[in-house]
Amino acid sequence: MKRALFVIALLVLIVVGYVLDLLHDAGEFRRVTPVLPGQCTPVYGAPGAEDISFDPITGMAWISSDDRRAAIDGHPRRGAILRYDPNSDARPVDAWPEAPSDFHPHGLSLYTDDSGRQSLFVINHPGESLFQGRTGSGPAHTIEVFDVVDDRLVHRATLADASMISPNDLVAVDHERFYFTNDHGSAPGWRRTLEDYLRRPWANVVQFDGREFREAAAGLSFANGIQLSRDGETLYVAEVTRNRIREYRRDPASGALEERRTIDVGFGVDNLELDPASGDLWLGGHLKLLTFTRHAADASIDAPSMAARLRLSTEPPELTPVFIDDGSALSGASVAAVRDGVLLIGSVFEPHFLVCRSGS
């Protein structure tokens, strides 16, 4: 009997210890002290602005927008890729109004070559949602490829492959090649739940070389945002549930990746945006991950948000918070994009994104 009680007590201690460790890593004990980069104004007309990238030529922002609340409520609405001028009072404009009804965009990546030609790559979930499971009979996930012509999107190709288990974000290498992240290695169901709460490293990075898909990196926990350095020789991948970024050495010729180091950032980093002027990374993400999961299920629950700049020119890299909010201004931040002193912060679920202007 004593032996049995000892085993039970030991198991209870292990479970309690794991739960406390999970709560700590998820940031649930963190005190949220607000930080503002200036005047921040909400802009409506772009629900679920999960990913945002600035156009280096026009200064416009490309926004991936999908009303995930409506989908969870059983009334899915067509998503959109929007163009937004941060120097205008105009609302965001749909750049692909002919998109099909099952268009549900997620991560996006804009590639611009030296001649000014541009291609936009977009993760799409026509048949499956991270928050709903299977929703259609066709491909669960696709990658849509567009040419940017006169500020409009001209659809070029739809790519689908068995490697797209749960694609989240992507980064273009050129007009044909890219990498994308699978945030999970398992399909919706009990295995995915275990993957989340046990933080199993089953996510990966997949490379498309213009002809075929192949795994480029494995062993990640909830792989999310992904970015390339300016010289194309370093790849960065966010691991949300581990509060860190993986850095890989990239072979430009073959595209092969070799892990170099991990960078701890101390919060649930979601998307990554590259500052083309400095080479720094701008991060958007979640200060309390478990609170964010509650926010996903209930819009009345605020989830604290953070945006930060990661300076890669210092050793070790220096993280500077530029926006911290308890969720009242913006819950569930997922991206921070900067250009000419204007910071755009998007989120997974909110009906608006924020425009913040430094010094105002």
> Hey, is 12 helix, strand or coil?
helix
For residue 337, is it within any domain?
Answer: yes
Instruction: State the Cα torsion 245-246-251-253 to the nearest 10°.
Output: -60
pLDDT at res. 360? 44
Range of the domain at 236: 31-95+177-358
Whole-number Å distance between alpha carbons of 329 and 20: 29
Q: How far is CA 82 from the centre of its chain?
A: 17
Least confident of 19-28, 90-99, 269-278: 19-28
Whole-number Å distance between alpha carbons of 233 and 244: 20
Whole-number Å distance between alpha carbons of 208 and 206: 7
pTM to 2 decimal places: 0.93
Q: Which two tokens stand for residue 137?
A: 């009979």
How far from 56 is each of 60, 61, 93, 345, CA to CA, in Å?
8, 9, 18, 18
pLDDT at res. 207? 98
How far from 80 is each of 136, 239, 344, CA to CA, in Å?
19, 26, 18
Helices and strands in the chain, H and E counts: 4, 26
pLDDT over 50 at 288, yes or no: yes
For residue 135, is it within any domain?
Answer: no
For residue 185, is it within any domain?
Answer: yes
Number of domains comprising the chain: 1
The residue type found at 302 is D
Check: CB of residue 143 under 8 Å from CB of residue 123: yes
CATH number of domain containing 294: 2.120.10.30
For residue 344, is it within any domain?
Answer: yes
Span 212-252, pLDDT tens digits: 999 999 999 999 999 999 999 999 999 999 999 999 999 99
**57 φ/ψ sector (left φ>0, alpha ψ -120 to 50, else beta):** alpha
For residue 110, is it within any domain?
Answer: no
Q: How confident is the model at residue 132 (pLDDT cuts 50, 70, 90)?
A: low
For residue 38, is it within any domain?
Answer: yes
For residue 106, is it within any domain?
Answer: no
pLDDT over 60 at 18, yes or no: no
pLDDT at res. 192? 93
The radius of gyration of the chain's CA atoms, rounded to the nearest angstrom, is 20
Q: How confident is the model at residue 65 (pLDDT cuts 50, 70, 90)?
A: very high
For residue 159, is it within any domain?
Answer: no
